[in-house]
Amino acid sequence: MFSYRHAFHAGNHADVLKHFIQVQLHKYMNQKDTAYTYIDTHAGAGVYALDSAQAVKSGEYVDGIARLWGRDDLPPALAEYVDVVRKLNPSGKLRWYPGSPWVADAETRLEDRLRLFELHPADIRVLAENVRKLEAHHAEQGARARGRRILVDHADGFHGLKALLPPPSRRALVLVDPPYEVKLDYKHVRDALEEAIKRFPAGTYAVWYPALQRMESRQFPDRLKRLPAKEWLHVTLSVAGPRADGNGLHSSGMFILNPPYTLEATLRETMPYLVQVLGQDAGATFRIEKGTPVTGAVAARGGIAGAPRQPVGNARRASPLSGGGSLRLPGQAFGDGARPRAEGEGEQGGTAGRAPRAQAAGQRGPRNEETARGERAAAAPRGAGTGSRTQARGPRTETAAAPRGPSKRGGSGRS
Ligand code: SAM
């Protein structure tokens, strides 16, 4: 428990995937004037120093955000994401990396609300202090929200989510991003989403997950497809083929329930570029699929290894927009890079086509160091939260101290 610290992984390829999509989700939400609530069930520390001992030790950002930093040919969605990172690094030197709460702060408006949950005793203090500084900075700039714009809760985000739905404004964007350091996290995500959708079917729910070879991970997307949302969109980014020892986070996915209708086209435009720039060997690839909930008895067989592959549910082929990718019916196994593809097999234009590389900096271990050494069967940290509300105050600890945030003006805040 509590072995996971995001500071080791901040800015890696998985963060790039997650945060560029998060930016797009906010931009879509911002198209309507009505305020919304952003709920981050697993917020982390908020912002990360890339020259901290943790970040330097893992060096993961080197094969993530650092590869995009100097580029002048970014597709629009990546340019918008890199812009958020740039605002934290006005000198031009990449030193700070925004976690999901920071991305949310940059992309929301004064009238929107941020509700952040974090359970780690050290990270909650860092997050609270970082948020306190951020709000002080906004206030200095004259940006004052009515009521508390950002609330930080030292509590279990799976439980906390329930209590916040439906949100007062009847609009919500939810990011679910646990460490998956215990297998039960997969189940907790599914269960929490099932409950959340029951309470608030209209919400947009974005789930990050590590696309590992372990069974829970392989079956996870198919389990999410059965949730009763109107639609889902699923994308994975593999920066390398799987390693022979099964270690290393080479691939991750974002599963979005009730996605913006514009997101698929954005992914199709962006993912080939990401594969090209972040790809570490010939196994680098991406996949995009979308559909409506998978239901019925056939669906129940969809994720079972060895079961005959049958098209199930209502998945439909995504329209061929710009860029390549691979699409599949939900009954087919979604390889998630778990199997190196043979020459010439498979996807249209999804691979990086690069020479294999020796051990890459971003491949030092999976997202969770604990998992790299062997799976833990311990119970997930449910109910461990105090439930006490941290009023964005508290001593500073060792992780990143927040630099001054970008100024937040009142009004639309749209770019
Ligand atoms: N969302 C963050 C970002 O993108 O910057 C990263 C979050 S990190 C992957 C997962 C975080 O969840 C860790 O900081 C961990 O301490 C925290 N955590 C683990 N279990 C939790 C729970 N049940 N509720 C809330 N936070 C939890």
Higher pLDDT, 377 or 152: 152
pLDDT band at 350 (very low <50, low <70, confident <90, very high): low
- Cα–Cα distance between 17 and 350 in angstroms, integer? 15
Residue 194 confidence (pLDDT): 98
What's residue 146's pLDDT?
76
pLDDT, tens digit (0-9, with 9 covering 90-100), for 23-53: 999 999 999 999 999 999 999 999 999 999 9
pLDDT in tens, 322-336: 233 443 333 333 333
Give the confidence band of 296 by pLDDT, cuts at 50, 70, 90.
Answer: low
C-beta 335 within 6 A of ligand 1: no
**Which of 3, 25, 42 has most ligand 1 atoms within 8 Å of its beta carbon, as the pocket-test mutant?**
42
More confident residue, 260 or 321: 260
H/E stretch holding 286 reads strand 285-291
CA distance 11 to 8: 9
For residues 70 and 329, give the distance between their C-alpha atoms in angstroms, rounded to a whole number.
38
170: left (phi over 0), alpha (psi -120 to 50) or beta: left
Helices 76-88/13-29 angle, 10° precision: 100
In the chain the domains, ranked by start, together with CATH numbers, are: 6-390 (3.40.50.150)
Distance CA 74, CA 92 (A): 16
45, 127 contact by CB (below 8 A): yes
Q: If phi over 0 gives left and psi between -120 and 50 gives alpha, with beta otherwise, what is residue 333?
A: beta
**Residue to mutate, 118, 175, 189, ligand 1, most ligand atoms under 8 Å from C-beta:** 118
- CA–centroid distance, 81 to ligand 1, in Å, is 21
Considering only residues 412 and 18, tell me which one the structure prediction assigns the higher pLDDT: 18
Report strand pairing: 251-257 vs 204-210. Answer: antiparallel
DSSP code per residue over 55-89: HHHH-GGGGTHHHHHT-S---HHHHHHHHHHHHH-
**Short-list 280, 103, 263, 285, CA closest to 177:** 103
**Residue 129's pLDDT band (boundaries 50, 70, 90)?**
very high
Measured CA distances, 90 to 83, 95, 133, 311, 386 (Å): 10, 10, 18, 50, 37
Burial of 92 (0-12, 13-18, 19+ CB in 10 A): exposed
**CA–CA separation, 307 vs 142, rounded Å?**
60
pLDDT band at 292 (very low <50, low <70, confident <90, very high): very high
Please state at what angle helix 100-107 crosses helix 121-140, rounded to 10 degrees.
Answer: 20
Residues known to be catalytic: 177
Q: How far is the CA of 319 from the centre of ligand 1 (A)?
A: 35
Collapse the DSSP code of 8 into the 3-class scheme (helix H, G, I; strand E, B; otherwise coil) and give the result.
helix
pLDDT band at 413 (very low <50, low <70, confident <90, very high): very low
Structure tokens at 341: 């593809």
User: 385 C-alpha to center of ligand 1: Å?
Assistant: 12
For ligand 1, atom 9, the nearest C-alpha belongs to 179
Q: Which of 120, 144, 336, 119 is nearest to 240 (CA)?
A: 336
Report the atom number in ligand 1 closest to the C-alpha of 6.
8
Q: Give 277 or 341, the one with higher predicted confidence.
A: 277
Cα–Cα distance between 200 and 167 in angstroms, integer?
8
Asked whether the predicted pLDDT for residue 379 surpasses 60, the reply is: no
pLDDT tens profile 97-115: 999 999 999 999 999 999 9
Cα 152 to ligand 1 centroid, rounded to whole Å: 13
The mean pLDDT of 216-221, rounded to a whole number, is 96
What atom in ligand 1 is closest to the CA of residue 9?
9
Q: Any idea what DSSP says for residue 243?
A: P
Nearest to 254, CA basis, from 269, 278, 279, 271: 271
Q: Looking at ligand 1, which atom is closest to the CA of residue 160?
A: 24
Question: Would you say the CB of residue 255 lies under 6 angstroms from ligand 1?
Answer: no
Q: Residue 403 and residue 252: Cα distance in Å, rounded?
A: 29
Tokens at residue 35, please? 């305020």
In this prediction the pTM is 0.78
What's the confidence (pLDDT) of residue 338?
34
Expressed in angstroms and rounded, the spacing between residue 153 Cα and the centre of ligand 1 is: 12
